[in-house]
């Protein structure tokens, strides 16, 4: 994947290619050292009932940024904990307001959800702005130029699709109610009387397997047919919308990264994003094929278990579950690895390029072994896991340039922390 | 290393000059120059490679120490100096800076404190989850208005009717008898908002009983069929009434919220890979809460039956039958207790049955 990006740049900047030199990133953090920072962060956060969490976040970020070194100069995280604390207080207030809207009534919670959706793109922009503003290298900060119009266009379209899905579901449910399904008695009104006699056909023990012929007994045949038709219609519309989402997702993703890169600056210099739409589609097409292959293997194995009659149900279920989880993790690692490689390898800063060469197998191994280690150690190995991932990511990242001494700084405005915090709190992945 | 030895180490001799080496960035461009700063015993900063007129170390801003990562000295006019000579910078700060910015770092270096932190966090969070949250959930639940119970119950019933339940085929006479008995079981002091009612639903083969927070108790046709007599169903209804009366759904909501807050406090910025891992302890804690509430409901039923001279074996019998079916979704299923009990929402059936056979 990164080859393509490099090739593109080769064409554009053929003369300067010869003098460009590789500069590897390195991560200098150590598990023991980070463990102490991590545990003290947790202790102080609990002791201060969460107030210290803002300082904890800054120390955490400063550790990871400060140990990410390029050509002897470290990255620096410069955010002010007070701003992060203020943002967190606002985020908690918003969250409480949102939760209490749910207590008041369904319509209040729908309105609260809609409001949250309406402000979300702006929050994402503010979060990006905050994060870039407080990241610097060689005393030159990055920055993100807010473009709310673009953000609303970018996030508005998938939101409309999500809204259509919700609307389809809600209207299907209300259609069912209209057909005379009474939630208080669980009965279809017209047929309630005709079905009063006790039905003793099913014996007690085999009762579990007779659902298919009991399915429609509460309804007249006309109602059953109408319901079935409605159900099919719903599935078609909902499935269609779902398909629409997945078909356009890689395209959307490419525009999202382009949006972020196009509005990000290092000093005065704007980032460029060269990845093509095809590169993003290739990730998801291959991931889908991997998933199909995994399901096929799983089905074969379960079939083998059943025909051979090996072990009991539990064993087969457990094996299937483990294989399923592993397959899922593998596909997940594939997507994340390839996405990171494509995104980073296609970023350009004037004549500076990057190369990200993460391996799917290594990333999958890291994820799986980290998960096991964290569970077995009851969480105490979280620092070890994080350091490992950071070290591997840095070791596979290279910058190539002939000179990076001449980037100019720009006069930057202060950014409020609210955006960063609301998104952080709700755990959105804004990773570039 | 203790705080005390740190202070001793940093006691500079009067005639010693201190040197720090690193990169100087002017803040205008990304260019850099490698320089060595010398701080003399008067606290004056000088440099052979760059021109610093009259800078005192007292006026130099120093970023706090984070492990052994690079520190930054702010030298005025937008200039920043990046250095890895953390020990020397610490010594200089101890001597010239009155404000103490290195507290977090000193705590992190204090091995005893780190060990204490591990103990406090693990013992503290486990006991908070085990005892603190359940103890707090009752008074907090009491603060939530009962209109919310109504809302929640209605919503749950609506969605279950929409996707899962079918019309009941239990005949009217049986329904009437059971409703009559149900009314007699209700606590006299039932508050105004809690309107108890008994509904019957067919549940696609699952023998089950459930209580919704608004006072709706549901018996599935499958459970009615499974029971040998009304006494067995009555014993189950008592268990369900206890769930409503003690507002277990609301308590569970409060406990889940408490759990999420605690996890948020502990993890802070934990990345996505490890936060999925946290689902497991959260799951175990929730299962244990659920088991605790089931036991409380059993206790209520047991006491009621004992004070009203009813045969507690009825509950044990129906539980045994449910255990034999082994398919039930909520009223659980296993014959023996095992490690997996920690993950189950209900206590081991065998233990529950034993209680009703023996505690009289």
DSSP letter string over B277-290?
HTHHHHHHHHHHHH
The C-alpha atoms of residue A123 and residue A128 are separated, in whole angstroms, by 9
Give the CA distances from residue A122 to residues A117, A154, A156, in Å, rounded to whole numbers and listed in that order. Answer: 10, 11, 11
For residue A201, the model assigns a pLDDT of 37
Output Rg (C-alpha) for chain A, integer angstroms: 27
**pLDDT band at A26; cut points 50, 70, 90:** very high
Q: Is the model's pLDDT at A202 over the cut of 70?
A: no
Q: Per the structure block, which two tokens stand in for A253?
A: 């993703």
Q: Is the model's pLDDT at A286 over the cut of 90?
A: yes
- Select the residue of B78, B199, B268 nearest A53 (Cβ to Cβ): B268
- Select the residue of A40, A53, A209 nearest B104 (Cβ to Cβ): A40
Subunit contact A74:B69, Cβ cutoff 8 A: yes
Residues whose CB is less than 8 angstroms from the CB of residue A53 and which lie 6 or more positions away in sequence, other chains included: A45, A85, A88, B265, B268
Residues of A in contact with B198 (CB under 8 A): none
Subunit contact A183:B171, Cβ cutoff 8 A: no
Q: Which residue of A has its CA nearest to B153?
A: A184
- Select the residue of B32, B121, B225 nearest A43 (Cβ to Cβ): B121
- Does A77 lie at the interface with B, CB-CB under 8 angstroms? no
Give the tens place of pLDDT for each residue, A320-363. 777 777 888 888 889 999 999 999 999 999 889 999 999 999 99
Distance (Å) from the alpha carbon of A187 to chain B's nearest alpha carbon: 5
* pLDDT tens, per residue, chain B with 360 residues: 444 444 444 444 444 678 999 999 988 899 999 999 998 888 888 888 877 777 888 888 999 999 999 999 998 888 999 999 999 998 888 888 866 667 888 888 888 888 888 888 888 888 888 888 888 888 888 888 888 888 888 888 887 887 778 888 888 888 999 998 888 888 766 555 568 889 998 887 788 888 998 889 999 998 898 889 888 999 999 999 999 888 898 898 888 888 877 777 766 544 434 455 666 777 788 888 888 899 999 999 999 999 988 888 899 898 888 877 754 444 443 334 444 455 566 777 788 888 888 876
Give the CA distances from residue B65 to residues A27, B62, B100, in Å, rounded to whole numbers and listed in that order. Answer: 17, 9, 11
Residues of B in contact with A195 (CB under 8 A): 167, 169
Average pLDDT over residues A109-130: 85
CB B41 within 8 A of CB B14: yes
Q: Is the model's pLDDT at A199 over the cut of 50?
A: no
Report the mean per-residue pLDDT for chain A: 78
For residue A313, the model assigns a pLDDT of 60
- Select the residue of B68, B265, B280 nearest A45 (Cβ to Cβ): B265
**pLDDT band at A162; cut points 50, 70, 90:** confident
Q: Which residue of A has its CA nearest to B227?
A: A204
Subunit contact A45:B113, Cβ cutoff 8 A: no
Q: Kindly provide the ipTM of the predicted complex, given to two decimals.
A: 0.75
Residues whose CB is less than 8 angstroms from the CB of residue B349 and which lie 6 or more positions away in sequence, other chains included: B319, B320, B322, B323, B332, B333, B334, B335
- Does A8 lie at the interface with B, CB-CB under 8 angstroms? no
Q: Is the model's pLDDT at A100 over the cut of 90?
A: no
Alpha helix ranges (H) inside A309-358 = 313-345
- Does A137 lie at the interface with B, CB-CB under 8 angstroms? yes
- DSSP three-state, residue B80: strand
- Could you give the angle at the alpha carbon of A393 between the alpha carbons of A261 and A295, nearest 5°? 90
B178 or A308: which carries more pLDDT confidence?
Answer: B178
Q: Is the model's pLDDT at A14 over the cut of 50?
A: no
Residues of B in contact with A429 (CB under 8 A): 272
Q: Model-level pTM greater than 0.80?
A: no
Subunit contact B277:A379, Cβ cutoff 8 A: yes
The C-alpha atoms of residue B66 and residue A260 are separated, in whole angstroms, by 30
Q: Which stretch, A34-38, A236-240, A367-371, B90-94, has highest mean pLDDT?
A: A34-38
For residue A164, the model assigns a pLDDT of 84
- DSSP three-state, residue B218: strand
The C-alpha atoms of residue B252 and residue B244 are separated, in whole angstroms, by 12
Subunit contact B167:A195, Cβ cutoff 8 A: yes
For residue A396, the model assigns a pLDDT of 95
Q: Is the model's pLDDT at A53 over the cut of 80?
A: yes
The C-alpha atoms of residue B119 and residue B121 are separated, in whole angstroms, by 6
Which among A37, A35, A53 is positioned nearest to A45, based on CA atoms? Answer: A53
Chain A from 358 to 417: CB within 8 A of any B CB: 367, 370-371, 374-375, 378-380, 382, 385-386, 389, 404-409
Residue of B146, B155, B177, B274 to mutate, interface with A, max A Cβ within 10 Å: B274
Residues of A in contact with B109 (CB under 8 A): 36
Which among B314, B290, B288 is positioned nearest to B301, based on CA atoms? Answer: B314
Residue of A87, A177, A186 to mutate, interface with B, max B Cβ within 10 Å: A186
Chain A from 153 to 182: CB within 8 A of any B CB: 173, 176, 181
Q: Is the model's pLDDT at A13 over the cut of 60?
A: no
DSSP letter string over A260-297?
HHHTEEETTEEEEE---HHHHHHHHHHHHHHHHHHHHH
For A41-104, what is the HEC assignment?
Answer: HHHHHHHCCCCCHHHHHHHHHHHHHHCEEECCEEEEECCCHHHHHHHHHHHHHHHHHHHHHHHH
**Residue A208 main-chain phi, psi, to 5 deg:** -65, -25
Average pLDDT over residues A316-323: 73
For residue B193, the model assigns a pLDDT of 53
For residue A412, the model assigns a pLDDT of 46
- Does A286 lie at the interface with B, CB-CB under 8 angstroms? no
CB B263 within 8 A of CB B256: no
Give the residue carrying structure tokens 């590789």.
A22
**E strands along B105-176, which residues?**
none
For residue A186, the model assigns a pLDDT of 47
């Amino acid at each position: 994947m990164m080859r393509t990006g490099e090739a593109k740049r080769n064409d554009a900047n053929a003369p300067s290619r010869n003098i460009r030199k590789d500069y590897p990133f390195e991560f200098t953090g150590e598990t023991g050292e980070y463990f102490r920072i991590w545990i003290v962060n947790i202790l102080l956060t609990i002791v201060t009932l969460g107030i210290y969490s803002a300082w904890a976040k800054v120390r955490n970020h400063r550790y990871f940024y400060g140990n990410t070194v390029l050509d002897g100069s470290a990255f620096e995280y410069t955010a002010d904990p007070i701003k992060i604390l203020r943002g967190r207080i606002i985020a908690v207030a918003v969250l409480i307001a949102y939760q209490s809207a749910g207590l008041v009534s369904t319509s209040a919670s729908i309105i609260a959800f809609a409001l949250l959706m309406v402000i979300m793109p702006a929050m994402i922009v503010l979060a990006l702005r905050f994060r870039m503003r407080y990241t610097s290298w060689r005393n030159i900060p990055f920055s993100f130029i807010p473009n709310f119009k673009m953000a609303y266009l970018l996030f508005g379209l998938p939101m409309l699709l999500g809204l259509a899905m919700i609307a389809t579901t809600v209207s299907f449910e209300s259609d069912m109610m209209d057909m005379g399904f009474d939630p208080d008695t669980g009965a279809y009104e017209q047929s309630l009387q005709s079905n009063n006699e006790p039905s003793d056909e099913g014996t007690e023990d085999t009762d579990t397997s007779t659902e298919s012929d009991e399915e429609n007994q509460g309804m007249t045949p006309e109602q059953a047919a109408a319901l079935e038709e409605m159900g099919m219609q719903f599935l078609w519309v909902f499935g269609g919308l779902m398909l629409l989402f997945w078909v356009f997702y890689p395209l959307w993703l490419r525009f999202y990264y382009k949006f972020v890169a196009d509005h990000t600056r290092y000093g005065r210099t704007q980032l460029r994003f060269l990845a093509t739409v095809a590169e993003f589609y290739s990730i998801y097409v291959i991931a889908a094929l991997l998933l199909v292959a995994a399901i096929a293997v799983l089905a074969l194995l379960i079939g083998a278990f059943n025909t051979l009659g090996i072990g009991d149900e539990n064993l087969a279920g457990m094996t299937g579950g483990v294989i399923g989880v592993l397959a899922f993790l593998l596909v997940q690692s594939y997507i994340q690895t390839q996405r990171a490689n494509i995104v980073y390898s296609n970023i350009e800063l004037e004549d500076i390029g990057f190369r990200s060469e993460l391996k799917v197998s290594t990333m999958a191994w890291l994820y799986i072994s980290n998960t096991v280690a964290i569970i077995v150690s009851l969480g105490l190995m979280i620092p070890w896991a994080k350091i490992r991932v950071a070290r591997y990511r840095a070791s596979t990242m290279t910058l190539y340039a002939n000179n990076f001494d001449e980037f100019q700084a720009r006069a930057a405005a202060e950014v409020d922390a609210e955006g960063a915090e609301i998104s952080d709190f709700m755990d959105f992945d804004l990773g570039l | 290393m203790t705080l005390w030895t740190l202070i001793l180490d940093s006691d500079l001799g009067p005639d010693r000059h201190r040197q720090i080496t690193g990169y100087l960035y002017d803040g205008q461009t990304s260019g850099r120059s490698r320089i060595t700063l010398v701080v003399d015993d008067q606290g004056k900063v000088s440099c052979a490679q760059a021109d610093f007129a009259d800078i005192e170390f007292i006026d130099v801003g120093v970023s706090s120490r984070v492990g052994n990562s690079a520190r930054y000295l702010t030298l005025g006019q937008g200039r920043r100096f990046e250095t890895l000579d953390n020990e020397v910078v610490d010594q200089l700060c101890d001597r010239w800076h009155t404000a103490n910015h290195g507290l977090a770092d000193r705590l992190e270096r204090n091995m005893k404190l780190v060990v204490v932190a591990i103990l406090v966090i693990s013992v503290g969070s486990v006991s908070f989850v085990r005892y603190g949250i359940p103890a707090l959930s009752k008074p907090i639940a009491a603060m939530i208005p009962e209109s919310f119970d109504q809302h929640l119950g209605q919503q749950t019933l609506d969605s279950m009717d929409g996707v899962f339940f079918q019309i009941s085929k239990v005949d009217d006479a049986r329904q009437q008898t059971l409703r009559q008995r149900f009314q007699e079981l209700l606590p006299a002091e039932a508050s105004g908002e809690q309107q108890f009612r008994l509904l019957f639903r067919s549940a696609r083969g699952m023998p089950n009983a459930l209580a919704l927070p608004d006072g709706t108790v549901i018996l599935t046709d499958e459970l009615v069929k499974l029971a040998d007599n009304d006494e067995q169903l009555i014993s189950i209804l008592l268990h369900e009434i206890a769930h409503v009366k003690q507002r277990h759904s609301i308590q569970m909501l409060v406990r889940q919220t408490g759990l999420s807050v605690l996890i948020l406090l502990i993890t802070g910025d934990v990345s996505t890979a490890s936060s999925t891992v946290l689902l497991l302890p959260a799951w175990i804690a929730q299962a244990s809460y659920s088991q605790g509430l089931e036991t409380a409901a059993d206790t209520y039923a047991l006491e009621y039956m004992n004070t009203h001279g009813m045969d507690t074996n009825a509950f044990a019998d129906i539980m045994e039958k449910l255990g034999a079916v082994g398919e039930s979704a909520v009223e659980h299923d296993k014959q023996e207790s095992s490690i997996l009990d920690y993950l189950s929402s209900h206590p081991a059936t065998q233990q529950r049955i034993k209680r009703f056979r023996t505690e009289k």
